Amino acid sequence: MMKNKPVYLLVILVMLAASILTACGGNATPESLNISSEIANLDDGVTRIVLLINGNLGDMSFFDSANAGMQKFQTDHPEVEVKVVEMGVDTSVWEPTLRQTANEANDLIIVGTTDMREPLQRLIRTGKYPDRKFIIFDTEIEDNAAANYPQVHSIMFKQNEGGYLAGVVAALMSIETGAQKTGFIGGMRIDVINDFGYGFMQGVEKVNADYSSQILAYNSYIGDFFNSPKGKSLADTMYTEGQVSILFAAASQAGLGSLDSAKNLDKYIIGVDTDQYDYFKSTDPDKASHIVTSVLKRVDLALYEACDAFLKNTLTYGDLAVMGLKDGKVGIVDNDNYKTIVPEADRTYVQGLIDQIISGDLEIKSGLKRFTPVADLNALFDKLDPTKQ
């Protein structure tokens, strides 16, 4: 028996390791997450709001902006219990976590991005949570069908308008630096990121038309929103081999690698979602100095205002709110670094375009597939792509 004991122990250890990996790895199940089948009663006099992050904080853009809005709301409304849950990058955990959150005594549950549409759709269709309310942001719960979900308030942004301004600034700064090319780096080839890129290319075209220039624009996608090394590698290639002096990266945490590239190669970059210059100016002033401006996508304000409306019982459901420059939810940062780097004449030109968009005199085409066929979007990308000339 003693001779077989090491083998026996090895088998036990292997089985134990396998059970741990099953619980923590890609095959997470409701049971491994300790999900209860009981649905808590909301009639306890406490209002609870939960934001589920399908990823992690620390991207210094999209999710951090959402978190900032919730933290500000918590500060202003201490009577409300506000919780932010980071679900991580293991997608198999997201839907069970949403279900567990709905089973708990949470009055309002907030999720974001297209990745959470189908999980939320399935949850609503069970009919088990008639007294819970939901917000989904950066997408519509179902394309052109928000009315089918009378418990859900959908929020979308006109990121094409922000992308347009980024394209204008990138083209202007390319002219200023003597570069003939700029570039766009996206996270994934999905609707929202395509909308950024489509706006960017229109902005480059506008400058070419008004300045009789011929600035071209690379486009490349990382494939996810987490791979910072790949974001850096793509930016490195555009800056060095592509001879780009400034680019725009809309890639959440993966875009942080592009910021590193701009710093290391002494090039310019346009940030996204929040004032990324402000994030780095105290901790890494060298990196911050290379961030000419950032496209603002005020997820923080949108969520704060939606939560405030929920608290006042004025939030509407079964509908879609679309927010852009005119609503103060999209724009670009006009900070000291922007004023230092971008010449006054260029800034005046940009402000003129902003005023035209807000007044309605200038309409930026949306890259969302509900408005623009993918073939048309790709045609504009190809038209400006230096590799396809």
pLDDT tens-place string over residues 116-146: 999 999 999 999 999 999 999 999 999 999 9
**Could you tell me which of 256, 220, 214, 255 has the C-alpha nearest to residue 237?**
220
Point out the least confidently predicted range of 36-40, 79-83, 271-275, 305-309: 36-40
pLDDT of residue 289: 98
- Mean pLDDT computed over every residue of the chain: 91
The one-letter amino acid at 256: L
pLDDT of residue 5: 36
Structure tokens at 24: 């923590």
Q: Is the pLDDT of residue 84 over 80?
A: yes
**Could you tell me which of 379, 387, 358, 376 has the C-alpha nearest to residue 158?**
358
Map tokens 């346009």 to a residue.
270
d(CA 87, CA 52) in angstroms, rounded, equals 7
With contact defined as beta carbons under 8 Å apart, do 200 and 184 qualify? Answer: yes
- pTM for the model stands at 0.88
d(CA 102, CA 110) in angstroms, rounded, equals 11
d(CA 389, CA 387) in angstroms, rounded, equals 6
Q: Decide: residue 303, CB within 10 A, 0-12 exposed, 13-18 middle, 19+ buried.
A: buried
pLDDT of residue 34: 62
pLDDT of residue 33: 56
d(CA 305, CA 126) in angstroms, rounded, equals 29
Residue 251 pLDDT grade (very low, low, confident, very high; cuts 50, 70, 90): very high
Structure tokens at 206: 């506008």
Q: Is 137 helix (H, G, I), strand (E, B) or coil?
A: strand
- Give the mean model confidence (pLDDT) for residues 240-244: 98
With contact defined as beta carbons under 8 Å apart, do 103 and 35 qualify? Answer: yes
- Give the mean model confidence (pLDDT) for residues 107-112: 98
Residue-wise pLDDT tens digits, 4-28: 433 333 333 333 333 333 233 333 4
- Give the mean model confidence (pLDDT) for residues 299-326: 98
pLDDT of residue 15: 33
HSE value, Cβ hemisphere, 13 Å, CA-based, for 228? 9
- Give the mean model confidence (pLDDT) for residues 71-100: 96
Residue with more model confidence, 32 or 324: 324
pLDDT of residue 37: 73
HSE value, Cβ hemisphere, 13 Å, CA-based, for 223? 6
Q: How far is CA 316 from CA 88, 149, 156, 289, in A?
A: 30, 11, 15, 42
Residue-wise pLDDT tens digits, 268-288: 999 999 999 999 999 999 999
Residue with more model confidence, 67 or 11: 67
pLDDT of residue 241: 97
Annotate 151-174 with b (16+ C-beta within 10 A) or e (fewer). bbbbbbbbbbbbbbbbbbbbbbbb
Residue-wise pLDDT tens digits, 328-386: 999 999 999 999 999 999 999 999 999 999 999 999 999 999 999 999 999 999 999 99
Q: Is the dihedral of CA 309, 311, 312, 313 positive or negative?
A: positive
Domains of the chain: 48-157 (3.40.50.2300), 159-297+330-388 (3.40.50.2300)
- Give the mean model confidence (pLDDT) for residues 181-199: 97
